[in-house]
Amino acid sequence: MSWMSSSLKQLFRDLRAQRLRTLLTTLGIVWGTVAVSLLLAFGGGFHHQLKKNSAGLGNGIVIAWPSLTSMPFEGLGKGRPIRLDEEDIRLLRQGAAELGDISSEYGETLRLQLGPKTLAVDTAGVHPVFGEMRNMIPQEGGRFINALDMLHKRRVAFLGNDLAEQLFGAGDPVGQLLRIHGSPFTIVGVLKQKNQDSSYRFRDKDMLVIPATTMQALTGQKYMDNFVFTARDVARTQEATQEVLEILAGKHRFDPRDKEALGVWDTSEMAAFFDTFMLAFRLFLGIIGALTLVVGGIGVSNIMNVVVEERTREIGIKMALGARPRGVLGQFLVETLIITAAGGAIGLAITFGLCRLFPAFGVTDYVGDPSLSPGLALGTVALLGAIGLVAGYFPARSAARLDPVVAMKM
Amino acid sequence: MNEPRHGGAEPDVAASPLIRMRDIRKVYDTGKIQVEALRDVALDVASGEFLAVVGPSGSGKSTLMNLIGCLDTPTAGSYELRGESVAGMNRAQLAEIRNRRIGFVFQSFNLIPQISTYENVEMPLLFGRVARRRRRERVEEVLARVGLADRMEHKPTELSGGQMQRAAIARALAMRPDILLADEPTGNLDSTSGGDIMDLFAQLWEQGHTMIVITHDTALSRRTSRRIELHDGRITSDLRNGA
CA distance B63 to chain A (A): 10
CA distance A46 to chain B (A): 52
Hey, of B68, B96, B110, which one would you mutate to test binding to chain A, going by the most A CBs within 10 A of its CB? Answer: B110
Say yes or no to pLDDT of B8 above 60.
Answer: no
Of A270 and B193, the structure prediction assigns the larger pLDDT to B193
- Comparing alpha-carbon positions, the chain B residue that sits nearest to A311 is B112
Q: Which positions in chain A touch B92 (Cβ < 8 Å)?
A: 324-326
Distance from C-alpha of A315 to C-alpha of A378, rounded to nearest angstrom: 35
Percent of chain B with pLDDT over 90: 72
pLDDT band at A359 (very low <50, low <70, confident <90, very high): confident
Say yes or no to pLDDT of A131 above 60.
Answer: yes
What is the model's pLDDT at position A235?
84
Q: Is A236 left (phi over 0), alpha (psi -120 to 50) or beta?
A: alpha
Residues A207-213, mean pLDDT to the nearest whole number: 94
Say yes or no to pLDDT of A172 above 70.
Answer: yes
Looking at the domain that runs over B19-238, which CATH code has it been given? 3.40.50.300
Q: What is the CA radius of gyration of chain A?
A: 33
Residues B91-100, mean pLDDT to the nearest whole number: 94
Q: CB-based contacts of A185: which residues, under 8 Å, 6+ apart?
A: A155, A156, A157, A177, A178, A179, A210
- Comparing alpha-carbon positions, the chain A residue that sits nearest to B72 is A405
What is the model's pTM?
0.69
Distance from C-alpha of A264 to C-alpha of A228, rounded to nearest angstrom: 10
Q: Do residue B123 and residue A321 have CB atoms under 8 angstroms apart?
A: yes
Residues A226-240, mean pLDDT to the nearest whole number: 90
Residues A166-189, mean pLDDT to the nearest whole number: 91
Q: Using the CB atoms, write b or e for B102-122: b if 16+ within 10 Å.
A: bbbbbbebbbbebbbbbbbbb
What is the model's pLDDT at position A50?
80
Sign of torsion over alpha carbons B53, B59, B61, B64: negative
Percent of chain A with pLDDT over 90: 37
- Distances, alpha carbon A270 to alpha carbons A179, A368, B224, in Å: 38, 19, 93
A380 near A37, Cβ under 8 Å?
yes
pLDDT band at A227 (very low <50, low <70, confident <90, very high): very high
What is the model's pLDDT at position B13?
46
pLDDT digits (tens, 9 = 90+) for A13-23: 767 777 787 88
Say yes or no to pLDDT of A186 above 70.
Answer: yes
What is the model's pLDDT at position A393?
92
Distance from C-alpha of A211 to C-alpha of B11, rounded to nearest angstrom: 115
Of B160 and A3, the structure prediction assigns the larger pLDDT to B160
What is the model's pLDDT at position A21?
77
Say yes or no to pLDDT of B44 above 50.
Answer: yes
Q: Does B155 touch chain A (CB under 8 A)?
A: no
Say yes or no to pLDDT of A4 above 80.
Answer: no
Residues A238-263, mean pLDDT to the nearest whole number: 89
ipTM associated with this complex: 0.89
What is the model's pLDDT at position B15?
57
Nearest to B96 among A313, A314, A322 (CB): A322
Q: Does B132 touch chain A (CB under 8 A)?
A: yes
Q: Using the CB atoms, write b or e for A168-206: b if 16+ within 10 Å.
A: beeeebbebebbbbeeebebbbbbeebebeeeeebebbe
Of A285 and B171, the structure prediction assigns the larger pLDDT to B171
What is the model's pLDDT at position B1?
43
Q: Does B166 touch chain A (CB under 8 A)?
A: no
The most confident of the ranges A174-178, A300-304, A367-371, B29-33 is A174-178
What is the model's pLDDT at position A368?
79
- DSSP calls for B103-167: EEE-TT----TTS-HHHHHHHHHHHTT--HHHHHHHHHHHHHHTT-GGGTTS-GGGS-HHHHHHH
Nearest to A6 among B104, B124, B126 (CB): B126
pLDDT band at A348 (very low <50, low <70, confident <90, very high): very high
Residues A321-339, mean pLDDT to the nearest whole number: 88
pLDDT digits (tens, 9 = 90+) for A261-304: 898 888 888 778 888 888 898 889 889 888 888 888 888 888 88
- DSSP calls for A360-375: GGS-HHHH------HH
Say yes or no to pLDDT of A344 above 80.
Answer: yes
Distance from C-alpha of A89 to C-alpha of A125, rounded to nearest angstrom: 14
Q: CB-based contacts of B227: which residues, under 8 Å, 6+ apart?
A: B51, B52, B54, B221, B237, B238, B239, B240, B241
Distance from C-alpha of B128 to C-alpha of A318, rounded to nearest angstrom: 12
- DSSP calls for A152-211: TT--EEEE-HHHHHHHHTTS--TT-EEEETTEEEEEEEEBPP------SSS-GGG-EEEE
pLDDT digits (tens, 9 = 90+) for B116-166: 999 999 999 999 989 989 999 999 999 999 999 999 999 999 999 999 999
Distance from C-alpha of A226 to C-alpha of A218, rounded to nearest angstrom: 18
User: What's the one-letter identity of residue B37?
Assistant: A
Say yes or no to pLDDT of B206 above 90.
Answer: yes
Hey, of A321, A324, A329, A406, which one would you mutate to test binding to chain B, going by the most B CBs within 10 A of its CB? Answer: A321
What is the model's pLDDT at position A6?
65
Q: Do residue B132 and residue A314 have CB atoms under 8 angstroms apart?
A: no
What is the model's pLDDT at position A410?
76
- Comparing alpha-carbon positions, the chain A residue that sits nearest to B126 is A3
Say yes or no to pLDDT of B243 above 50.
Answer: no
Q: Is B228 left (phi over 0), alpha (psi -120 to 50) or beta?
A: beta
What is the model's pLDDT at position A124?
94
Say yes or no to pLDDT of A122 above 70.
Answer: yes
Say yes or no to pLDDT of B2 above 60.
Answer: no
Q: Does B123 touch chain A (CB under 8 A)?
A: yes
Q: Give domain limits for chain A.
A: 2-54+272-407, 62-267
Q: Is A238 left (phi over 0), alpha (psi -120 to 50) or beta?
A: alpha
- Comparing alpha-carbon positions, the chain B residue that sits nearest to A4 is B126
Q: Do residue A325 and residue B92 have CB atoms under 8 angstroms apart?
A: yes
pLDDT band at A409 (very low <50, low <70, confident <90, very high): confident
- For chain B, helix, strand, coil in percent to 5 are 35, 25, 40
CA distance B92 to chain A (A): 5
Residues B171-190, mean pLDDT to the nearest whole number: 93
What is the model's pLDDT at position A5?
66
Q: Which positions in chain B touch A312 (Cβ < 8 Å)?
A: none
Q: Which positions in chain B touch A323 (Cβ < 8 Å)?
A: 95, 127
CB atoms within 10 A of CB B206: 13
Residues A190-217, mean pLDDT to the nearest whole number: 86
How many contacts does A have with B, using Cβ atoms within 8 A? 61
Distance from C-alpha of A119 to C-alpha of A167, rounded to nearest angstrom: 10
**Start-to-end Cα distance in chain A:** 28
What is the model's pLDDT at position B242?
59
- Distances, alpha carbon A231 to alpha carbons A62, A91, A216, A257, B201, in Å: 8, 16, 26, 20, 95
What is the model's pLDDT at position A7?
66
Q: Does B1 touch chain A (CB under 8 A)?
A: no
| Residue A112, strand partner residues | A119, A180
Sign of torsion over alpha carbons A26, A32, A36, A38: positive
Q: Does B232 touch chain A (CB under 8 A)?
A: no
What is the model's pLDDT at position B30?
81
* Average pLDDT over chain A, rounded to an integer: 87
**Phi and psi (nearest 5°) for B32?**
-85, -50
